[in-house]
Amino acid sequence: MYRERASGLTGAVVWTSTPDGTGRVLPDGCMDLLWYDGELLVAGPDTRAHVPERTDRPWAGVRFPPGIAPVLLGVPAHELRDRRVPLADLWPAAAVRRLTGRAGAAADPAHGVEAAALSLASAAPAPDPLTRRVAAALAAGRPVGAVADELGLGVRQLHRRSLAAFGYGPKTLARVLRLGRALALARAGVPLARAAARTGYADQAHLTREVRELTGVRPRDLLGGGAR
């Protein structure tokens, strides 16, 4: 079972889940701060769907907008790509104990991990506004070259900054975000062929190939449920 709500941290989402071993976490350009069994962990940006192991204990997490978590954690996103790691592997033990204590003091794990995330945000520098502009432009379907020109960046410079902020280059981020747009339309009842056309795929077959490549299943299997 999966539930989510808006966080007090702008643009973030607080969620809880008890995985049954069949659901899939789809790549979305985001990173998460996780709470499980009394421990804080970090989920890096995914390039393929992640299938959590079955458990009878709940997970809770805060999903940050693309490009925000590296600022809060002080760790480049590409170092955590396709990984789930304990926060203790990234930060000094004393700092992790303080943050873990803050999270564990809450009766509700979701409130606890959100309190930890808010604590991180209060101590971190402000996110680079350029990072937000890159994510917004790519989410809107702008070509990578056009985004670089609009922001006054060379393509290589945009690639380097994207690796640090998002975990992968702008072309991969654009690909992941486009898939998210297409699936959102399909879940809203838009036929796949029309969803493909509206989000810039060559045709429905192109969208189907992207779904299989990035999620590991066919669109009809994915849209039947079990993915976020």
> Which domains are present in the chain?
2-123 (no CATH), 129-222 (1.10.10.60)
Mean pLDDT for the chain overall: 94
Extract the runs of DSSP E, i.e. beta strands, from 7-111: 13-17, 31-36, 39-43, 59-64, 84-86
Tokens of 90: 């990234």
CB 43 within 8 A of CB 61: yes
- The pLDDT assigned to 144 comes to 94
Cα–Cα distance, 72 to 174 (Å, whole number): 23
Predicted confidence band at 22 (pLDDT cuts at 50, 70, 90)? confident
Predicted confidence band at 224 (pLDDT cuts at 50, 70, 90)? confident
Query: Per DSSP, what are the bridge partners of residue 24?
Result: 227
- The pLDDT assigned to 56 comes to 86
Query: Per DSSP, what are the bridge partners of residue 41?
Result: 34, 86
Three-state DSSP class for residue 143: coil
> Residues 226, 183, 180, 205: is their CA dihedral positive or negative?
positive
Three-state DSSP class for residue 3: strand
Predicted confidence band at 21 (pLDDT cuts at 50, 70, 90)? confident
Q: What would you report as the CA-atom Rg of the chain, rounded to the nearest whole angstrom? A: 18
- 227 vs 13, higher pLDDT: 13
Mean pLDDT of 162-177: 96
Predicted confidence band at 176 (pLDDT cuts at 50, 70, 90)? very high
